[in-house]
Structure 1
Amino acid sequence: MDLIDRIYEAAVIPELWAEACDLLSEETGAYSTALITLVPNAPPRWVSSACIAEQMKVYEESGLAARSPRPQRGLAIAPGNFMRDIDIMTPEELAVDPIRAELLEPIGLPWEMGAVFLEPSGSLLVFSQLSSAEMGPFGEKAVARMNALKADLARAAFLSARLAFKQARTMVQTLAMVGLPGAVVGDRGNVVAANAPMEDLAPRVRIGTRDRLHIADAGANALFSTALEQLSTGHAPSVQSLPIAATEDAPPLVLHLIPVRRNARDIFSRSSALLVFTPVGAVGPPDMRVLCGLFDLTRIEARVAQELTRGHSVEEVAAILGSRVQTVRTHLKAIFRKTGVNRQSQLVLLLSGLAPVGGTDPA
């Protein structure tokens, strides 16, 4: 498979972007390659060659992305074209550039070549390659090689972004199939996608200005805002369940926040969490379609989750399924990992309300 094929393969299987970065580095003799998404007022998202991953994490947390003029300079001079740092900045500017002085020079990789693409949503997609101090600035041959690939790189990156948005819509529509309100929120708390049942929650839950989700229950809204802030910094639990008080004509709800954590897909989706609203008291065997689609469970894992939510013990589930107890425990560990909980009681609470509406759950 040639390089261009590998690039388009990564477009539909985002987990392969890191490997594609290594192949791009080999093309130009670069030490590393990274693909970065820059969104205003949010930390950068990225995927990179493994050799630079630790330094990319420092870059993500440092705030350097907002302080460096490189992306906007490149976008203004030649959008979508690969250029070297020496092509867009003077020696004097390079000497005081925060990216170079605070990050690149200390790790011995002071030279950069990159291209900036403006994504339709307003995000910037940046391809960045680094070269060591010993190798010096990238040569014109390396720039020409990357520019020969730029159209394919841009198409592949935009395809990944569109597929990520499609996946967000698919997740909430899966919930709509069984009557559950759901939405996907982005890094800034904006609603990326929502399903039709969400409209039935108004005015208790509504989408307001700038596509922000607002909860009429002041206490729940404060908890929700705090949870989003924690998610943006990566300090929140894998799953959070927040109570929404009952009103005179509506029962209490539980809002489940499930972080979107799918490796390289994060750099394109700008999704922070999937929100699922379930009514209190609607405890029952969860819908197989929701379990498989929402938590990426296999059918046997979903069946185990169903039986546990019915109140059966692990031993009873093993008897029902005709499996060994240890096999069921293995499935349960996988379910815990995928749902973000670590106790059976938490799992039952999380899955409460994901029951089929008005019919039998398909087997």
Structure 2
Amino acid sequence: MSDASTLIDRIYEAAVIPELWSDVCISLAAEVNAYSACLLTIGSDQRIDWICSPNINEAMIRYSRSEVRYQNVRPERSMISSPAAFSRDIDVMTAQEIIDDPIYNAFLRPMGLGWSMGAVFREPSGHTLIFDFIAREADGPFSSTHVDRLNSMKGDLARAALISSRLTFRQAENITSTMSMLGLPAMVVGEDNRVLVMNDGMEGLAPRIRTGAANKLSLENPAVNTLVLGALDELRVAETAKVQSIPLPAVEDQPALILHLLPVRRNARDIFSRGLAVVIATPVGLAGPPDLRVLSGLFDLTPGEARVARELSSGANLETVAVTLGLSLETVRTYLKRIFFKTGTRRQAELTHLLSGLGRVAA
């Protein structure tokens, strides 16, 4: 068992750096002799996302794609029997139910696993957070000592997960604020097409661009509305980040615009991100490389990283970028690694393709 204060510190560190949750899951599993630990989020649309110990990730992928997951009785029963606290499968299910459970039979027992323990927390946003632990079948059910150990940390775990969630919402607000300073109408659209945040510039484009029922994005032009919603659908399943640009025709005294849809969810492990895309409106005719402030605002790039990204967007190779900016080749490579991480891209060609779509998004 690890030092309690050290583990709590790491939990709160993961709260502000979500990529660390995977390592925290490994440590949490070790605390209670579990095979794996997993932090899941379930949206109002039943979309499931997770961060987990690496050894259970493949099973989680299959589980998330299976209809069997809707037969999971444990979360609902846990919320009734032990609200916002950890409980075991043997606390909320009969022995026969555990034997017959389709999830255990389809996903756990083939891996030699067979017992679970978890806690369910509700976010104010309506999303559900679940901490789930799985034990090897041969080890038997989790003990009451294991339950007590996790319950001693339940407040910290819940607060840390909520902090992660709130920080991503603040990031969405920061993006639209940055675009406001550049005079660009912008909004952040969530997974279910709801507008999470919109700046004054975008609000000023109503009724051409507006929110409709349930605060969902809606465009006055039916054809453009279909294109935008279709583009958002593509972003949901896209494996790589890609900017999509859609023209919005002029109407009466309102000029034609280009709507740029930029994926927000660039890190597959960022399970807290509620945003699907940043939508930015620019006048027709703007051209050139991306504005440095746009790059910084959208991807949280440092000034140095933004300058390198701007040069790469034109297709320049690393050697040319180094000479142009007066940097060593090694420094440019270091910047490139950070840019890959922040933009969710993995190759230079992929990065160039993403950034080139922002050429019209200039101040």
The Cα shift of 1:220 comes to 1.9
Whether the 8 Å CA contact 1:34–1:129 is kept in 2: the answer is yes
- Shift in Å, 1:307: 5.6
One of 38, 43, 47 as aligned partner of 2:47: 43
Work out whether residues 168 and 273 of structure 2, in 8 Å CA contact, stay in contact via their aligned partners in 1. yes
- 1:126 and 2:130 equivalent? yes
Unmatched 5+ residue regions in structure 2?
none
Match of residue 358, structure 2, among 328, 336, 350 = 350
- C-alpha separation between the residues in 2 aligned to 1:44 and 1:265? 12
Secondary structure at 1:258 match in 2: strand
Structure 2 length-normalised TM = 0.87
Q: How many residues align?
A: 354
Cα distance in 2, alignment partners of residues 294 and 68 from structure 1: 38
Cα gap change, 1:218 to 1:325, in 2 (>3 Å): farther
Structure 1 residue aligned with 2:243:
239
| 1:222–1:312 CA distance, 2 compared to 1 (3 A) | closer
Match of 2:184 in 1: 180
Equivalent residue number for residue 89 of structure 1: 93
Q: Which residue identity lines up with residue 216 of structure 2 in the other structure?
A: R
- For the residue of structure 1 that corresponds to 2:358, the secondary structure is helix
Aligned equivalents of 2:171 and 2:60: distance in 1? 26
Q: Which residue of 2 aligns with 1:358?
A: none
Note closer, same or farther for the CA distance 1:40–1:313 as it changes in structure 2 (3 Å cut). Answer: closer
Q: Is the 8 A contact 1:7 1:153 kept in 2?
A: yes
* 2:113 pairs with one of 106, 109, 134: 109
Distance 1:242 1:104 in 2: 45
Q: 1:284-338: per-residue Cα shift (whole Å, max 9, x none)?
A: 45432221121233423422454677x7966876654335799879967976883
Amino acid at match of 1:223: L
Q: Which of 302, 307, 316 does residue 303 from structure 1 map onto?
A: 307
Q: Is the aligned partner of 1:198 residue 2:202?
A: yes
1:30 matches 2:24: no
- Report the counterpart of residue 103 of structure 2 in structure 1: 99
Q: Deviations over 1:120-175 (max 9, x none)?
A: 11111100000011111111111111111111111111111111211111111111
Which amino acid counterpart does residue 172 of structure 1 have in structure 2?
Answer: T
Quickly say closer, same or farther: Cα 1:260–1:67, change in 2 above 3 A.
farther
The structure-2 alpha-carbon separation of the partners of 1:245 and 1:326, relative to structure 1 and needing over 3 Å to count, comes to farther
Partner amino acid, structure 1, of 2:194:
N
In structure 2, what is the Cα distance between the partners aligned to 1:331 and 1:242?
Answer: 31
Evaluate the alpha carbon distance shift between residue 77 and residue 168 of structure 1 in structure 2; reply closer, same or farther with a 3 A threshold: same
* Distance (Å, rounded) in 1 between the aligned partners of 2:236 and 2:326: 43
* Deviation of 1:233 (Å): 3.2
Q: Is the 8 A contact 2:189 2:197 kept in 1?
A: yes
1:268 aligned residue: 272
1:66 to 67, 70, 73: 70
TM-score, structure 1 as length reference: 0.87
Which of the residues 220, 227, 252 maps onto 1:216?
220
Matched ranges for 1:332-343 at <5 A:
338=343, 342=350
Aligned partners of 1:58 and 1:298: how far apart in 2? 38
Point out the more displaced range, 93-102 or 174-183.
Answer: 93-102
1:159 corresponds to 2:163: yes
Residues 29 and 330 of structure 1: is their aligned pair in 2 closer, same or farther, counting only changes over 3 Å? closer
CA shift, 1:27, in A, is: 0.7
State the alpha-carbon separation in 2 of the partners of residues 12 and 323 from structure 1.
31
